[in-house]
């Protein structure tokens, strides 16, 4: 009897086979668990953002700064919410399945593939909304021939990195309540510490650990930020043109002169060139640096997820 | 700057006065080391300890220490940027410290028999009501309000003359269980859940695990399959489950209390995926399909198999869970309340199926709260009872008939009632029965007592009525 039943020598489904099993399971859940809802939600978020800041994105330096920051935040929002509950809501099930033969690496990889698909669809939706709203996409790409493709890849990587961050948190915590409590802190961290809007002083190095920083940088690089006109200086000059200095209005004279000689646009381009940032130089190396940083984050988040779930057997009631 | 120092001064004043208030109160709370009232962290831990709320005391102690440490760091590093970050940290800490201190304070009010309106004083200054309670002779603690037996539950093991673990040898056939102890550490305190459980279950056995609420039934089965490890040795056909789990994991089926299946998948896919993962690679697709079909048929899941799991009834959910585990033909199959939420007829049906599974040569252990309607199907009964130290121990292992004779009761429910504590509506015979059974096993009489039914089981005549 013992010999007949004990099956220690038998081989069971390997890691690759299990990835397939779980990937298909998650695909079914896309339909049954209404995961598809992330697409219209993503579309609404993209629409709201691009309606407000999309007009001047990739048109002026200021518009690009605001627009890319908002778009980057939207991607982070989408990504984090895609995955923040996916593991912790079924933690007990995963523990039982792990005890009966599930490979954690397969489970996490299946999630990664499924989430990649989800992020890809969200990116397409976001690009579509941007196009509908009339966002001026960069025409020439840096890595690929088309700017829109480079931008799409960037949006995908940002969303995916945030998604993996959510997956990592979901793997670390034991309940959906805890996961959802952590989300605001994650998002605030990404917003505040991106280093592009707020001065961080001695904590400036922290920006290197944020998805928003690298995401925004890569979008600015792809959007030819350093070649874009800057409007702030011109607007300031116009605003203060009536200032009188020793019975003269020098600013007014300059503004008038530039208007009469059709020099306003070239002035904006000139002022943009003066305040350019070498980090935003549109070079292949700069894009790869940003993408590379995000890819490294993705890998780290995935590894932490696997390691955290490997310890799932220690979970107590 | 002046404001900053003023704030730090006020906070330090509060820290010191709170320590003073606790120092005065500590006399009434019978602290062994009253000086701890002056040590941040230790003062909160001692406060919690004296009120027997260890968890809150420990958490509060850690938070208290962090809070004071943070304050010291703020004084030592006057850098503006760091001060802003630290102030934010302190604000977050304050919320937690406040909540946990309020919880401790409410326990204190209970001890002194004071109403909740005292919380208003606490809100003015946390040390104020503590100081009043400590100084005034009018307010005296009512120590009897703390139920010693509750907070001491499982804190220590009762002395034993004999030990089952020494008397029952491990064997290489069937399931051999030796749980020396199962304990958890809660905030530094060791709490025992199970103690001295030893028994050997032969193949072809359907075993009922009985015991009152909190006797440790679920803890025991979790320990047996290594789901929550204990200080134990568990052998399944000679393989140590703890040390060599990989080689037996496909031989163990476990249906826990809660349904561990995904609601948003179809019944068929749920069982099919379980089969794909748990069945050996060597099995052909046709064999796997046949196996799934058999299991679905056996458990009455064939109709509606395309439906979503979440849409199924409680009984169907239990059966789906059983199906996902049963698919591998486990050598050891453990079910924690498989009949919960099921009516009598379906329940009987499930137990009859479990009987069939056991008859195929497997070991099936079941926890159920309605044992008497299906007791005729079982070969053995394990009775767990919580002793006076509130630790789960083995009160009996043998056939149902022997159990009736041993406990001098007619039904399994009466047996459970006899070992349940009086505060739970039971008769409180746990200690007596544990001792009686241990003596019986140690003296060797238990072997004689279970010899005959074991012979029946081994010869394939499973079931009491067989």
Long-range Cβ contacts of B434-437 (<8 Å, 24+ apart)? B434/B385, B434/B387, B434/B393, B434/B394, B434/B395, B435/B161, B436/B406, B437/B394, B437/B395, B437/B396, B437/B397, B437/B406
Tokens of residue B86, six digits: 């630290």
Q: So what's the pLDDT on residue B158?
A: 83
Buried-state track B210-239, b at ≥16 Cβ within 10 A, e below 16: bbbebbbbbbbbbbbbbbbbbebbbbbbeb
For the ranges B83-87, B355-359, B445-449, the lowest mean pLDDT is seen at B445-449
pLDDT score of B366 more than 90:
yes
Determine contact: A15 vs chain B, CB below 8 A. Answer: no
Greater confidence (A112 vs B421) lies with A112
Tokens of residue B353, six digits: 């199926």
| DSSP per residue, A152-170 | HHHHHHHHHHHHHHHHHHH
Q: How far is A77 from chain B (nearest CA, A)?
A: 24
| B371 contacts: CB under 8 Å, gap ≥ 6 | B208, B210, B378, B412, B413
Quick one: closest CA in A to B249, which residue? A100
Kindly give the pairing relationship between strand B363-367 and strand B175-186.
Answer: unpaired
Buried-state track B390-411, b at ≥16 Cβ within 10 A, e below 16: bbbbbbbbbbbebbbebbebee
Determine contact: A2 vs chain B, CB below 8 A. Answer: yes
| A68 contacts: CB under 8 Å, gap ≥ 6 | A57, A215, A216, A219, A220, A223
| Most confident among A105-114, A132-141, B340-349, B417-426 (mean pLDDT) | A105-114
Q: Are residues B218 and A90, on separate chains, in Cβ contact within 8 Å?
A: no
Determine contact: A3 vs chain B, CB below 8 A. Answer: no
CA distance B308 to B325: 19
Question: Would you list the domain boundaries of chain A?
Answer: 2-226+278-314, 231-274
User: By the 8 A CB rule, do B200 and B174 touch?
Assistant: yes
**B residues 274-333 closer than 8 Å to A (CB):** 276-282, 308, 325, 328-329, 331
Report pLDDT digits (tens) over B2-33: 666 777 788 788 889 999 999 999 999 888 89
Choose the closest CB to A21 out of B252, B261, B277.
Answer: B277
* Res. A193 pLDDT band, cuts 50 70 90: confident
Summarize the confidence of residues A132-147 as an average pLDDT.
Answer: 92
Output phi, psi for B211, to 5 deg.
160, 155
Quick one: closest CA in A to B237, which residue? A2
pLDDT score of B79 more than 70:
no
Phi/psi region, residue B460 (left: phi>0; alpha: psi -120 to 50; beta: rest), is: left
Summarize the confidence of residues A69-79 as an average pLDDT.
Answer: 93
Cα angle A100, B339, B335 (rounded to 5 degrees) comes to 30
Q: How far is B59 from chain A (nearest CA, A)?
A: 18
User: By the 8 A CB rule, do A228 and A219 touch?
Assistant: no
pLDDT score of A248 more than 90:
no
Determine contact: A78 vs chain B, CB below 8 A. Answer: no
Average pLDDT, chain B: 87
Q: A281 vs A204, A273, A284, B31, CA distance in Å?
A: 21, 11, 9, 68
CA B254 to chain centre: 16
Summarize the confidence of residues A122-149 as an average pLDDT.
Answer: 93
For helices A250-260 and A232-239, angle between their N-to-C axes, nearest 10 degrees: 120
Q: Any idea of the CA torsion for A58, A59, A60, A66, to the nearest 10 degrees?
A: -40
Q: What percent of chain B shows pLDDT beyond 90?
A: 53
Q: Are residues B331 and A203, on separate chains, in Cβ contact within 8 Å?
A: no
Q: Are residues A6 and B251, on separate chains, in Cβ contact within 8 Å?
A: yes
pLDDT score of B88 more than 90:
no
Local structure of B391: helix, strand or coil: coil
Which residues of chain A have a CB within 8 Å of the CB of B281? 10-14
Q: Are residues B278 and A100, on separate chains, in Cβ contact within 8 Å?
A: yes
CA distance B133 to B235: 57
Q: So what's the pLDDT on residue B459?
A: 45
Q: So what's the pLDDT on residue A9?
A: 66
Sequence length of chain A is 317
Q: B329 vs A93, A141, B217, B258, B315, CA distance in Å?
A: 20, 59, 24, 21, 21
* Res. B148 pLDDT band, cuts 50 70 90: low
Sequence length of chain B is 466
Report pLDDT digits (tens) over A199-216: 777 778 888 999 999 999
> Partners of B192 in the beta sheet?
B183
CA distance B176 to B238: 8
Choose the closest CB to B273 out of A1, A10, A25.
Answer: A25
Greater confidence (A4 vs B111) lies with B111
Q: So what's the pLDDT on residue B438?
A: 94
* Res. B145 pLDDT band, cuts 50 70 90: low
Q: Are residues A10 and B261, on separate chains, in Cβ contact within 8 Å?
A: no
Summarize the confidence of residues A28-39 as an average pLDDT.
Answer: 86
Ordered alpha helix ranges (H), B113-192: 118-124, 127-135, 148-151, 164-167
Quick one: closest CA in A to B329, which residue? A5
Q: So what's the pLDDT on residue B1?
A: 63
CA distance A88 to B319: 25
CA distance B183 to B93: 32
| A313 contacts: CB under 8 Å, gap ≥ 6 | A95, A98, A99
Greater confidence (B360 vs A300) lies with A300
Summarize the confidence of residues B163-177 as an average pLDDT.
Answer: 92
Greater confidence (A17 vs B162) lies with A17
CATH number for the region B163-237+331-459 comes to 3.40.50.300
Report pLDDT digits (tens) over B415-455: 999 999 888 888 999 999 999 999 999 987 665 554 444 44
Average pLDDT, chain A: 91
pLDDT score of B149 more than 70:
no
pLDDT score of B457 more than 50:
no
Which residues of chain A have a CB within 8 Å of the CB of B320? none
Which residues of chain A have a CB within 8 Å of the CB of B237? 2, 5-6
Q: So what's the pLDDT on residue B67?
A: 83
| B90 contacts: CB under 8 Å, gap ≥ 6 | B67, B70, B71, B74
Report pLDDT digits (tens) over A38-50: 899 989 999 998 8
Local structure of A242: helix, strand or coil: coil
* Res. A176 pLDDT band, cuts 50 70 90: very high
Q: So what's the pLDDT on residue B56?
A: 87
pLDDT score of B464 more than 70:
no
Q: So what's the pLDDT on residue A91?
A: 95
Q: So what's the pLDDT on residue B152?
A: 59
Q: So what's the pLDDT on residue A118?
A: 95
| B78 contacts: CB under 8 Å, gap ≥ 6 | none
pLDDT score of B196 more than 90:
yes
Kindly give the pairing relationship between strand B175-186 and strand B189-201.
Answer: antiparallel
């Amino acid at each position: 009897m013992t010999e007949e039943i004990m099956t220690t020598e038998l081989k069971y489904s390997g890691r690759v086979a299990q990835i397939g099993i779980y990937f298909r399971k998650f695909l079914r859940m896309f339909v049954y668990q209404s995961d598809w809802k992330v697409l219209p939600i993503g579309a609404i978020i993209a629409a709201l953002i691009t309606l407000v800041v999309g007009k001047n994105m990739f048109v002026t330096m200021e518009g690009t700064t605001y627009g890319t920051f908002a778009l980057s935040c939207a991607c982070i929002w989408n990504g984090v919410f895609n995955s923040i509950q996916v593991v912790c809501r079924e933690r007990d099930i995963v523990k039982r399945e792990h005890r009966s033969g599930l490979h954690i690496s397969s489970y996490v990889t299946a999630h990664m593939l499924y989430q990649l698909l989800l992020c890809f669809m969200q990116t397409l939706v976001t690009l579509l909304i941007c196009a509908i709203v009339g966002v001026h996409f960069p025409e020439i790409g840096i890595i690929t021939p088309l700017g829109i493709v480079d931008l799409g890849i960037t949006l995908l990587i940002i969303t995916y990195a945030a998604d993996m961050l959510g997956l990592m948190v979901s793997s670390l915590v034991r309940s959906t309540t805890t996961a959802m409590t952590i989300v605001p802190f994650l998002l605030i961290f990404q917003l505040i510490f991106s280093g592009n809007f707020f001065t961080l002083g001695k904590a400036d190095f922290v920006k290197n650990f944020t998805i928003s920083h690298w995401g925004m940088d890569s979008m600015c690089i792809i959007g030819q930020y350093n070649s874009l006109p800057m409007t702030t200086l011109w607007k300031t000059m116009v605003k203060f043109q009536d200032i009188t200095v020793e019975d003269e209005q020098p600013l007014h004279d300059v503004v008038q002169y530039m208007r009469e000689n059709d020099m306003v646009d070239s002035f904006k381009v000139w002022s943009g060139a003066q305040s350019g940032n070498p980090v935003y130089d549109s070079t292949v190396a700069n894009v790869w640096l940003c993408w590379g940083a995000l890819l490294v984050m993705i890998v780290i988040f995935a590894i932490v997820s696997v390691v955290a779930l490997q310890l799932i057997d220690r979970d107590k009631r | 700057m002046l404001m900053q120092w003023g704030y730090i001064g006020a906070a330090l004043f509060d820290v010191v006065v709170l320590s003073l208030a606790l120092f005065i109160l500590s006399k009434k709370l019978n602290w062994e080391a009253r000086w701890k009232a002056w040590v941040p962290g230790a003062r909160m831990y001692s406060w919690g300890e004296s009120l027997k709320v260890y968890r809150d005391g420990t958490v509060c102690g850690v938070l208290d220490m962090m809070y004071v440490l943070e304050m010291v760091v703020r004084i030592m590093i006057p850098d503006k940027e760091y001060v802003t970050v630290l102030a934010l940290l302190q604000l977050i800490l304050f919320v937690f410290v406040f909540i946990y201190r309020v919880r401790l304070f409410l326990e204190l009010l209970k001890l002194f028999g004071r109403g909740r309106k005292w919380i208003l004083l606490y809100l003015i200054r946390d040390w104020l009501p503590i100081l009043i309670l400590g100084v005034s002779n009018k307010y005296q603690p009512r120590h009897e309000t703390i139920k010693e037996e509750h907070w001491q539950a499982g804190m220590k093991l009762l002395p034993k003359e004999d030990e089952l673990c020494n008397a029952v040898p491990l064997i290489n056939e069937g399931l051999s269980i030796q749980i020396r102890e199962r304990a958890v550490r809660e905030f530094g305190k060791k709490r025992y859940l199970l103690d001295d459980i030893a028994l050997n279950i032969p193949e072809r056995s359907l075993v009922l695990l009985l015991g009152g609420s909190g006797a440790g039934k679920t803890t025991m089965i979790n320990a047996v399959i290594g789901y929550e490890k204990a200080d134990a040795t568990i052998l399944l056909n000679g393989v140590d489950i703890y040390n060599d789990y990989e080689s037996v994991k496909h031989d163990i089926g476990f249906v826990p209390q809660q349904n561990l299946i995904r609601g948003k998948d179809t019944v068929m896919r749920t069982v099919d995926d379980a089969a794909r993962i748990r069945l050996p690679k060597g099995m052909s697709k046709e064999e796997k399909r046949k196996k799934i079909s058999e299991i679905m048929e056996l458990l009455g899941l064939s109709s509606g198999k395309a439906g979503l799991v979440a849409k199924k009834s409680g009984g169907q959910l239990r059966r789906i869970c059983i199906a996902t585990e049963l698919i591998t033909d486990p050598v050891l199959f453990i079910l924690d309340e498989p009949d919960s939420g099921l009516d009598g007829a379906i329940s009987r049906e499930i137990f009859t199926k479990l009987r069939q599974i056991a008859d195929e040569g497997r070991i099936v252990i079941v926890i159920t709260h309605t044992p008497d309607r299906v007791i005729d199907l079982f070969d053995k009964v394990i009775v767990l009872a919580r002793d006076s130290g509130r630790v789960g121990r083995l009160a009996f292992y043998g056939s149902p008939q022997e159990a009736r004779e041993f406990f001098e009761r007619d039904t399994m429910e009466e047996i459970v009632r006899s070992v349940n504590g009086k505060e739970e509506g039971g008769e409180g015979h746990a200690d007596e029965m544990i001792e009686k059974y241990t003596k019986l096993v140690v003296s060797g009489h238990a072997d004689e007592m279970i010899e005959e039914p074991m012979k029946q089981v081994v010869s394939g005549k499973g079931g009491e009525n067989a």
